[in-house]
Amino acid sequence: MTAVQAPPRAALTRLAGMRHTSPGRLQLLLVVLLVLTTLAGLVTGLTAASAAAGTTDLRDRAQPLLAEAETVWSSLADADATAAQAFISGGLEPPELTSRYDEKLTAAATALTSAARRVPEDSAGAEAIRAISAGLGDYTALVATARALNRQGKPVGAAYLSTASQLNRGTLQPQAQALFQQARREASAGYTDARSSWWLILLLVVLVGLGVALIATQAHLSRTTRRTFNVPLVAATALTVLLALVCAGLFAHQRSGLESAERAGSTPAQALAETRMLVLRERADEALTLAARAGRGALEDDFTLLRKRFVVSGEEFDEVRGLATTAAERHDAYLALHDEIRKLDDNGDYEAAVKLAVSPETRSAFDGVTTVLDEALTGRRAAFDDEIRSAGLGLGALAVLGPLLALMIGVLAALGLRARLEEYR
């Protein structure tokens, strides 16, 4: 046991002895400075790399996944509403509605394919994507059957349409919503990862420690050698200050960009997407109520709840206040037409109610709401892209140049102390 412990004890004794001689103290200071410069270079590189990777992942994966999940969800809801509108038109369906239905299903399938590449295979998001992909075929088959029976004038077509809508609303849309919620959580986590707060705290501690060690070393040399300045150590201190300022500037800029991307991009985009979903569900409820020929029921009750949830006055809409106000005004115009449709249907004038529901006037009022919401959503996504790209500027360069600056600081510190050590030889 004694033989094993002797070398460590001897090393500790030697280190303790170095504290009591001038050359020994200089050697200890040199070791401390070299360790701190190595840590500074390593932590600077890792912090910059972590922040850059987090920002890139947020820009290239998490936020696009959120947009694709919203596309899947809204496209399914839009297809449901469009299929119902086309059905109640009777006979030969309007070409524009048929085209829109096909377009929305294609958009959903395309977004699903893209989203599948952005989620782990064993995640809840991947399960949702697989469930939607499997159910889309059944949904399109049911709608196709309903349309064929409707063209033949067979009332059973309404039952097929109802089954298709139940599949869409009860299975496909909930899965799409689950994908959207997971994407939103990943986007939120992406902001946390991109900020790299723990790495920044460690970097701050290391740089402050290095700066204090350099100043303390120069103060020690000034007392023992009667020389005011040690040029290499002064240069090392200046480079340390430069490194700290560069890090502070780049990370402050990155955080500012992340905050702007979240405030002006992600937050309003999510609110707009959910508001758009409410409007699409309203339109589907309206058409499906008429297709069922049963008057007021669960779907109209759902419509009543949805119209109360259409609120665009919150702070999340501050960045699109003008467009949000326009959307609210157009939504009120659409609701007025819906109330007229319900009045006609409740009074037994079903044909007039259907005619008004599929009329250019009602379609234009509804499209006016979705168009302005789409415009606002597109603008917020563009704002996010601009801010997040700006936030990532310089981080890749810092991951390389930061360690190089730290290396230069270490070399200068070694040169400054070596000159003093040589005086004792």
- Nearest residue to 194 (alpha-carbon basis) of 242, 244, 253, 243: 253
Rounded to an integer, what distance in angstroms lies between the CA atom of residue 272 and that of residue 282?
Answer: 15
Give the pLDDT confidence score for residue 412 in this predicted structure: 94
* CB burial of residue 188 (10 Å; 0-12, 13-18, 19+): middle
Summarised one tens digit per residue, pLDDT across range 272-320 is 999 999 999 999 999 999 988 877 888 899 999 999 999 998 999 999 9
Rounded to the nearest 10 degrees, how much is the dihedral formed by the CA atoms of 373, 274, 136, 362?
-40
**Contact status, residue 128 vs residue 258, Cβ threshold 8 Å:** no
Mean pLDDT on 241-260:
96
Q: Tokens representing 320? A: 């699109």
- Average pLDDT value over all residues in the chain: 90
Query: What's the predicted TM-score (pTM) here?
Result: 0.84
Summarised one tens digit per residue, pLDDT across range 87-140 is 988 767 888 899 999 999 999 999 999 999 999 888 899 999 999 999 999 999
Cβ neighbour number for residue 235 with a 10 Å cutoff: 17
Residue 13 confidence class, pLDDT cut points 50, 70, 90:
low
Residue 423 confidence class, pLDDT cut points 50, 70, 90:
low
Q: Which residues contact 24 (CB under 8 A, 6 or more apart)?
A: 17, 18
Q: Tokens representing 138? A: 């059944």
3-state helix, strand, coil in the chain (%, to 5): 90, 0, 10
Give the pLDDT confidence score for residue 25 in this predicted structure: 74
Rounded to an integer, what distance in angstroms lies between the CA atom of residue 122 and that of residue 76?
Answer: 24
**Contact status, residue 199 vs residue 48, Cβ threshold 8 Å:** no
Length of the chain: 425
Q: Tokens representing 126? A: 């991947």
Give the pLDDT confidence score for residue 419 in this predicted structure: 67
- Nearest residue to 151 (alpha-carbon basis) of 104, 103, 105, 98: 98
Using alpha carbons only, what angle is made at residue 233 by residues 25 and 21, rounded to the nearest 5 degrees?
10
**Which residue in this structure is represented by tokens 């700066």?**
211
- Taking each helix axis from N to C end, the angle separating 124-151 and 63-89, rounded to the nearest 10 degrees, works out to 20
Give the pLDDT confidence score for residue 229 in this predicted structure: 78
Residue 183 confidence class, pLDDT cut points 50, 70, 90:
very high
Mean pLDDT on 29-43:
93
Alpha helices in 171-196 (DSSP H): 173-195
Give the pLDDT confidence score for residue 5 in this predicted structure: 47
Asked whether the predicted pLDDT for residue 240 surpasses 60, the reply is yes
Asked whether the predicted pLDDT for residue 15 surpasses 80, the reply is no
Residue 1 confidence class, pLDDT cut points 50, 70, 90:
very low
The dihedral region occupied by 349, where left means phi > 0, alpha psi between -120 and 50, and beta the remainder, is: beta
**Contact status, residue 33 vs residue 410, Cβ threshold 8 Å:** yes
**Which residue in this structure is represented by tokens 């295979």?**
121
Q: Could you tell me what percent of the chain has a pLDDT over 70?
A: 92
Determine which of 44-48, 159-163, 294-298 has the lowest per-residue pLDDT on average.
Answer: 294-298
Summarised one tens digit per residue, pLDDT across range 317-332 is 999 999 999 999 999 9
Give the pLDDT confidence score for residue 8 in this predicted structure: 63
Asked whether the predicted pLDDT for residue 55 surpasses 60, the reply is yes
Rounded to an integer, what distance in angstroms lies between the CA atom of residue 28 and that of residue 420?
Answer: 13
Rounded to an integer, what distance in angstroms lies between the CA atom of residue 133 and that of residue 110?
Answer: 11
Element (H, E) at 271: helix 267-292
Rounded to an integer, what distance in angstroms lies between the CA atom of residue 261 and that of residue 386?
Answer: 8
Asked whether the predicted pLDDT for residue 84 surpasses 80, the reply is yes
Asked whether the predicted pLDDT for residue 421 surpasses 90, the reply is no
Q: Where are the domains of the chain?
A: 25-422
- Nearest residue to 108 (alpha-carbon basis) of 65, 75, 64, 138: 75
